[in-house]
Amino acid sequence: MHDDRERCLRAVQAKDARFDGWFFTAVTSTRIYCRPSCPVVAPRPEHMVFYPSSAAAQQAGFRACKRCRPDATPGSPEWNGRADAVARAMRLINDGVIDREGVGGLAGRLGYSVRQVERIVTAELGAGPLALARAQRGQTARVLIETTDLPMADVAFAAGFASVRSFNATVAEIFALSPTELRRRARHRPTTAPGTVGLRLALRTPFLTDNLFGHLAATAVPGVEEWRDGWFRRTLRLAGGPAVMALAPRTDHVACQLALTDLADLPVAVNRARRLLDLDADPVAVDAALGADPRLAPLVAAAPGRRVPHSVDGEEMALRAVLGQQVSTSAARTHTARLVAGHGTPLAAPDGTLTHLFPTAADLLDVDPATLALPDARRRAVLGLLAAVAAGGVDLSPGADWDRARAQLAALPGIGPWTVETIAMRALADPDAFPAGDLGVRRAAAGLGLAGPGDKALQQHAAVWRPWRSYAVQHLWATGTHAINRLPGRSPTVDPTVDPTEDPTKELS
C-alpha cells in the first residue's frame, strides 16, 4: 500500500487507525516516522514519504515518534492473507527464526538461498531480514525497559543484542532517548507478579471477544490451559524454557502477562499470543467482504470484528484436531488431557492447574497404542500424524506452505477433508480454510438456506466468501448456543433454528 501515495495521504489526513501497520509515515523535516493515526497535526504532503515497515523507516534514518509509538502498532494483516515466500518469511522472522538460526536458517526453511531471501524481502519491505529482526529487538527492548525493573545490561541481552553498546546505540537511534530516559518516561507500568512481564497487545477494532476467548476457554486442555478470573492462561514451550502466558480481553487491546524462564523468549511469546488471538487481522476488510453476501450480512452486522482462534503451536493443534474427529468438545478434551498427563513435560513449579507442557510429537512416538482409548481408525491416524511430524514429513510451522501442508496431511491415513481444513484454519492460520463437512457449519448453512443434500451447494456459495472463509465459519458456528460462542459466565443467545445441544465443531459423520 505504501506505493499508493494518494491513498496514504488520505489515511494520514483522516488519522485512520485502520491503516496502522499497513504502512508508516516518515516526515523529512523532522526525521521522525509515525503510524497513520498519529494524533499530532499532519505535516505538509511534500514532507511525507511512506515505508512498508518500521525497519525500512529506521534504516532510512528516521526515529520513532514519541506520541504514537509506531513500533507498537498491530502487525500488517497483509501477511495473514498471503502464502508467498515474503509472507512466509515475515511469519518466521516474527517467530524468532533469525535470532535462533540466522538468515541462513530462514533461507533453508523457505527453500531459497540467502541471497534470494535478502533480495525478495528487501524489494517488498524496504529492509532486509537482519534489519527486520533488529527492529523487533528494538521493540522488545522498549517493552522490557518500560515494564520491568531489570538492569539495563540484562535488558540488552534479553532483547537479543550482542553488547550493551549496540543496545544503547539502537535504542537512541530508534527512539531518540537513552534507555534510562525511556524508562523514566514510561506512563503505563502494569502491576504484575515478580518475574512476570506485563504488556498491552495492540489490535484493530472492532474486536469481538465472545467466540475468540469462548472457544479457547471451552476447549481448554486440563494441565496445559485454563480460564481463571477472566484470563485465559496456558503453558508454552519456548527455546529458553517453559513459560506461562495469561491473556485477558479489553475494549481496545488484550492484556498480556508472561512468566518466562528466559526473557530472550519475549518476542516469540508475544508473537504466539498475537497469532493465537488473530490480532493482526483487518476486521473492517473481512466484514466488508462477508457482509456483501445478503445471506451472511445479518450475522456480520450483528457481530462485527470476529476473529479466528488459532494456536500457539501447529503440531499441537494438528494432534488435537485428529483427537477431535467425530467426537464432542468434551470428549476431545478428555482424550487430549490423558496424553498431557501421561507424556507431557511436568513444570518444575506448577502454576495453579497448569502442570505440564504439551507433549511434542517426539515425546509421543513411543506411546503404547493400546493406551489410546480411541477407535482403531483414529488410533492409526494419530500414530501416522505423529510419525510424519517427527520425521519432518509434515510442516506445520508459522512459515509452512499452506497448499503443501494440506497435501502432506491428506496423504496420511485417517485424515480427511474436515481434519485438513480444521488444521489449516487453526494451526496454519489460513484465512480461507473451509471445513464444509463440519456439522455446525452444515446446520447453520441449512438455516440460511445455503446447504443442499450434499456439500456441493454450500461449497459453491462459499466461493463468494473467499479469501475469508475461515471467518465465515466463525459466523456460522455462532448461530448455535454451544459454550465456544460466549465468554464463560455469559448467557447464550438462542437461535430457534439450531439444536442447542449440538456441538458445532464436530465432523459430519
CB neighbours of 207 closer than 8 A, spacing ≥ 6? 249, 251, 252, 283, 305, 307
Query: Phi, psi (5° rounding) for residue 48?
Result: -105, 135
User: Which three three-digit cell numbers place residue 34?
Assistant: 509515525
Distance CA 36, CA 30 (A): 16
CA 266 to chain centroid, in Å, comes to: 15
Distance CA 170, CA 161 (A): 9
What is the sign of the dihedral through the CA atoms of 84, 89, 90 and 96?
positive
Read off the DSSP letter of residue 507. Answer: B
Decide: 477 and 440 in contact? Cβ < 8 Å. Answer: yes
- In order, the DSSP letters of 160-214 are T-S-HHHHHHHHHHHHSS-HHHHHHH--------TTEEEEEEE-PSP---HHHHH
Decide: 132 and 53 in contact? Cβ < 8 Å. Answer: yes
- Give the 3-state secondary structure of residue 495: coil
In single-letter form, the type of residue at position 54 comes to S
Query: Phi, psi (5° rounding) for residue 238?
Result: -120, 170
Decide: 225 and 216 in contact? Cβ < 8 Å. Answer: yes
Checking DSSP bridges between strand 32-34 and strand 63-64, what pairing results, if any?
parallel
Decide: 171 and 152 in contact? Cβ < 8 Å. Answer: no
- Residues involved in catalysis: 34, 438
Read off the DSSP letter of residue 393. Answer: S
Three-state DSSP string of 53-73: CHHHHHHCCCEECCCCCHHHC
What is the sign of the dihedral through the CA atoms of 487, 490, 496 and 499?
positive
Read off the DSSP letter of residue 26. Answer: E
